[in-house]
Amino acid sequence: MNKLEDKQIQDRLKAKGNLPRHIAIIMDGNGRWARMRGLDRIEGHRAGRESVRDVVRACGELGIEVLTLYAFSVENWRRPRREVWALMRLLRDTLYEEVEELDRNNVRLIAIGRLDELPKTSREALFWAMKRTKDNTGLMLNLALNYGGRVEIVDAVRRILEGGYRPEDVDEAVFSAHLYTAGLPDPDLLIRTSGELRVSNFLLWQMAYTEIWVTDVLWPDFRRKHLYQAIEAYQRRERRFGMTSEQLRRGDGGGR
């Protein structure tokens, strides 16, 4: 795709006027990509960096508010120790190497998950990159690290109990305010690569009304053209939030 074609597609997407505010991505298929090429699994993760780079650039150019990437789950600690520590080193190195471009492109980096349990060097790199970009006002790049939807809910309950709330005072708004994602809009669009049809313990509370788009493309092969396909599919969908199509056409309120 050349620059002219890219701009034309972006202009068309913007002209439709219903771009998703928040896109979440389950970046799946790195291991399979490497295995198909006779490579070590970590090479698939390294190759996936270019996919992240291209998608972050495209989201910034489109004016997407939030991009959440499922980078490392609480379950991923169960993987072979060698792979886990290679991933932690890759995370550290990527943060140091990519922050200059993020800052130049006005991207603000944030993260969700049990961040205090990350290895010291990876945690230091993350907090350094977040501090470096904290004043940026463009795309918010949200990394889900040592993240799990169930532990997020458990942690939210613990914070609510610690806050001394009475049961009758706890509603959806109070609960949402105690999640890792407090202050962020819920995802409008979830993209999952590699063809798997599951949410894998990702943003379980937040995805109640999220539109889901799945592709067989493995993450290291995913590029902005696939992102555009997902957004185009999203723009064709009717988001009813429990209402009927007739209510939406009459403008009877609702929406999230």
Give Cα separations from 69 to 50, 96, 104, 163, 252 (angstroms).
Answer: 14, 18, 20, 30, 34
Is 216 one of the annotated active-site residues of the chain?
Answer: no
206 and 177 Cβ atoms separated by less than 8 Å:
no
Is 105 one of the annotated active-site residues of the chain?
Answer: no
The catalytically annotated residue of 28, 142, 146, 186 is 28
Q: Which position has the token pair 């959440």? A: 68
At residue 122, the 3 state secondary structure works out as helix
Q: List CB contacts of 156: < 8 A, sequence separation 6 or more.
A: 175, 178, 179
DSSP state of 43: H
Closest to 192 in 3D by CA, of 48, 69, 58, 27: 27
Computed from CA positions of residues 61, 87, 33, 96, in that sequence, does the dihedral angle turn out positive or negative?
positive
List, in sequence order, every residue forming a beta bridge with 140; answer none if it has no partner: 66, 108
Cβ count within 10 A of residue 17: 7
The catalytically annotated residue of 6, 40, 76, 221 is 76
Q: Which position has the token pair 């991933």? A: 87
Kind and range of the H or E run holding 40: none
Q: Known catalytic residues?
A: 28, 76
